Amino acid sequence: MRERVVLKWGGGLITEKSTMKTVRQDVLRDLAEQLEQCLLSGVDVVLVHGAGSFGHLKAKQYRLAEGRITGSAPMGPLTQDEAVEEVRADMLELNAHVMQALTERDISAVSLPPHTWATNTGPAFEGDLAMFSQAPSGIVVVTHGDVVACHDKREFGILSGDDLVLRLSKELPDVTRLVFAMGGVEGVLESMPIDDQPGVLIEALTKNAMFDDEHMSEMDVTGGIGLKVQRGFAALESGVEVLLVSGEEPQRVADACLGNPVRGTRLVA
């Protein structure tokens, strides 16, 4: 039985976060090459990607994480319903870039966008995860953060890729590792980078340790690094190794996925 890794490509890594719908093609190409290495080394990968500037900016403007809002002043030229449709379409467009990068490395992959199979938000979202383990070995199943329907009065909400990776890590058979590939940092930092000083990397992070919970709430509708750490500890408790590494430095994502020594943050019990 091949081992399986759940890998998240952060939205802030694969897109220019503050410029609407801008893909970092060179980063995508490099990440796809590292993913290919994992497959060739006998490790199956379930890939989840974030939204970056294809999701957060519009979702923020139209307050989609809060669900249906009635009686407020217009939030822009679109209605909330139109914004839901546009963000879903934008996420499909980003997903198409991800799939294209995989195809260019001859990686066979299948995409399962959450608005077609998941409802409700947070770690207890509903949806059949069995589909993710039914793909033959060597095929990468891909999903992503999305706007999903909710069963309560919110009607819709944002399902983060960080909630998807937790549930996939816990519920799919044979998952040994959960790897978060991030942009702009080498892992979890003790304190904010100041001027040209990079900030101090925490190599082993315990649950109660303090860290720099950088969250660009003016841009992000989900939880930033704090959410990754929280979901990471929940995955660790079910016996999965959890690493947070830079997706911008050569080889680190592949090393993390393959269990090789790597610079980054490892969560420890």
Can residue 112 be called a binding residue for ligand IP8 (CB under 6 A)?
Answer: no
**Residue 72 beta carbon to ligand IP8: minimum distance, rounded to whole angstroms:** 20
Can residue 146 be called a binding residue for ligand IP8 (CB under 6 A)?
Answer: yes
Among 4, 5, 7, 11, binds ligand IP8 (CB under 6 A): 11
Can residue 225 be called a binding residue for ligand IP8 (CB under 6 A)?
Answer: no
Q: Closest by alpha carbon to 128, among 142, 117, 112, 141?
A: 117
- Contacting range for ligand IP8; rule: CB under 6 A; set: 55-63, 71-79, 129-137, 243-251: 55-63
CA atoms within 13 A on the CB side of 238: 18
How is residue 200 written in tokens?
Answer: 């101090």
Decide: residue 195, CB within 10 A, 0-12 exposed, 13-18 middle, 19+ buried.
exposed
The distance of Cα 78 from the centroid of its chain, to the nearest Å, equals: 27
- Residue least distant from ligand IP8 (Cβ): 145
**Residue 14 beta carbon to ligand IP8: minimum distance, rounded to whole angstroms:** 10
Distance spanning both ends of the chain, measured CA to CA = 27
In the stretch 60-99, what mask flags binding to ligand IP8 with x, by CB under 6 A?
A: ---------------------------x---x--------
In the stretch 157-196, what mask flags binding to ligand IP8 with x, by CB under 6 A?
A: -x-xxx----------------------------------
Q: Closest by alpha carbon to 247, among 63, 1, 7, 4?
A: 7
Q: Are 233 and 34 in contact (CB under 8 A)?
A: no
Closest CB to ligand IP8 among 91 and 179?
91
Q: Are 222 and 236 in contact (CB under 8 A)?
A: no
Can residue 55 be called a binding residue for ligand IP8 (CB under 6 A)?
Answer: yes
**Residue 145 beta carbon to ligand IP8: minimum distance, rounded to whole angstroms:** 2
Please report which residue ranges of the chain form alpha helices under DSSP H.
Answer: 11-14, 25-40, 56-61, 80-104, 130-134, 161-171, 224-237, 252-258
CA atoms within 13 A on the CB side of 133: 17
SS3 116: helix
Can residue 59 be called a binding residue for ligand IP8 (CB under 6 A)?
Answer: yes
**Residue 146 beta carbon to ligand IP8: minimum distance, rounded to whole angstroms:** 6
Can residue 127 be called a binding residue for ligand IP8 (CB under 6 A)?
Answer: no
**Residue 151 beta carbon to ligand IP8: minimum distance, rounded to whole angstroms:** 19
Q: Which amino acid is at 102?
A: L
Can residue 221 be called a binding residue for ligand IP8 (CB under 6 A)?
Answer: yes
Contacts with ligand IP8 by CB under 6 A lie at 11, 50-51, 55-56, 59, 87, 91, 145-147, 158, 160-162, 221-222
